[in-house]
Amino acid sequence: MKTVNEAALWLQSHDTYVILTHCRPDGDAVGSAISLCLGLRSIGKTAYIWKNPQFTPRYLPRLQGLVIDTVPEHATIISVDMATEGLLPINGKDFAGKILLSLDHHPSNTGYAQHSLVLAQCAGCGELIWDLLEELGVAITKEMAEAIYIAISTDTGCFRFSNTTAHTFMTAAKAVEHGADIAPINRELFEIKSKGRLRLESRIMANMEFYADGKVAIACLPQTWVEELEVTEDDLDSISGFPRTIDGVQVGIMVRDSEPGKAKLSVRTANGYDASAYCSKLGGGGHKAAAGCAVAGTLEDGKKAILEVLKQEQVI
């Protein structure tokens, strides 16, 4: 499928939808699923979201009345925001090979579904869903608008990331016009940090090392801290990017020992520095601005290895 219109016609001609989200579902997956499910119901279709055991607690109130954990007869299985069947939820591996429509924005979508609509220009899958709901003639409600807002705001870091486009802002404008109350959502998603996260950041900051006049910052995150400070997986979200949020830092490195015997390095760089080049020297890879690698040994071993590379590359 190439257009939202084709996907809309297909959805109009089927029924009894079960919508899948990927494992460890983020705001874009959950928001896209909720709005699509509500939209399909509003035009008379039967629709459910497959109960993903990894839904984060903050989204459960919005999912109430929408989820199902058995497959109804004659179900039409569709997925949102899912690039590969390898990302099926942990209780949904049996859906492999049975997905009829994939609605996605990942250019890496493997084409696993019978039909796919992949719009890679969308920052969030939620943008595609909004256009689809309009195409379906859905009267978009506050609940749908807020779900889409969650989808697009989380996938763009509240419109900060470089994937944000005019279309993203336009979709946010429409969400507000359709009643989305965005201030409390923004506060919950982008402003509030847990005590554990703040204490962890404090400790990371106090132990951070700077090189090359502050252009390079290296931080270690020992797993013992994670346990000691009772930090959750949610608290660790995007912690790898923390060194690069410091003024003047062009190359930010986070070293973790979350797997025993291994130092995992995340490297984030500004324009003019190539994270992928540094990491590939240690057997890793990624993009120019964000890459990773793993080194056998302790946190100290990992730090030494990347510092050696940065010396070779004349960064420090």
Q: Which residues bind a second copy (CB under 8 A)?
A: 158-162, 164-170, 172-174, 176-177, 182-183, 186-187, 190-195, 198-199, 201-202, 205-206, 214, 245-248
Reference 268, options 298, 295, 238, 297; nearest CA is 238
Question: Toward a second copy, which CB reaches closer, 86 or 214?
Answer: 214
In the complex, the smallest distance separating the C-beta of residue 45 from a second copy, rounded to whole angstroms, is: 29
Residues 6+ apart with CB under 8 A from 119: 4, 104, 105, 127, 128
Strand partners, 118: 104
Q: At what angle do helices 142-155 and 27-42 cross, to 10 degrees?
A: 160
Closest residue by Cα to residue 146 from 61, 40, 44: 61
Q: For a second copy, which is the closer residue by CB, 177 or 300?
A: 177
Residue with Cβ nearer a second copy (24 or 167): 167
Closest separation between CB of residue 3 and a second copy, Å? 21
In Å, how far are 238, 252, 270, 313 from 248, measured between CA atoms?
Answer: 19, 10, 10, 19
CA atoms within 13 A on the CB side of 220: 17
Using the minimum distance from each CB to a second copy, give the nearer residue, 133 or 263.
133
CA 302 to chain centre: 27
CA distance 312 to 306: 10
| Min dist. Cβ of residue 52 to a second copy (A) | 23
By beta-carbon proximity to a second copy, the closer residue of 120 and 205 is 205
Cβ 188 to a second copy shortest distance, Å = 9
Q: Would you give the DSSP letter of residue 311? A: H
Q: Would you state the structure tokens that stand for residue 104, as one six-digit string?
A: 């996605």
CB nearer a second copy, residue 217 or residue 255: 217
- For residue 105, the minimal CB distance to a second copy (Å) is 18
Measured distance CA(316)–CA(219) in Å, rounded: 16
For residue 151, the minimal CB distance to a second copy (Å) is 15
Closer residue to a second copy (CB): 84 or 250: 250
Closer to a second copy at the Cβ: 233 or 300? 233
Distance in angstroms (rounded) separating the CA atoms of residues 204 and 256: 11
Nearest to 79 by CA among 21, 7, 4: 21
- Distance of closest approach, residue 205 Cβ to a second copy, in angstroms: 5
Q: How far apart are CA 170 and CA 30, in angstroms?
A: 21
Q: How far is the CB of 97 from a second copy (least distance, A)?
A: 39
Which C-beta is closer to a second copy: that of 10 or that of 211?
211
CB of 96 to a second copy, least distance (A): 36
d(CA 230, CA 89): 26
Half-sphere exposure of 165 (CA within 13 A, CB side): 10
**Cα-flanking dihedrals φ and ψ of residue 236, to 5°?**
-85, 0
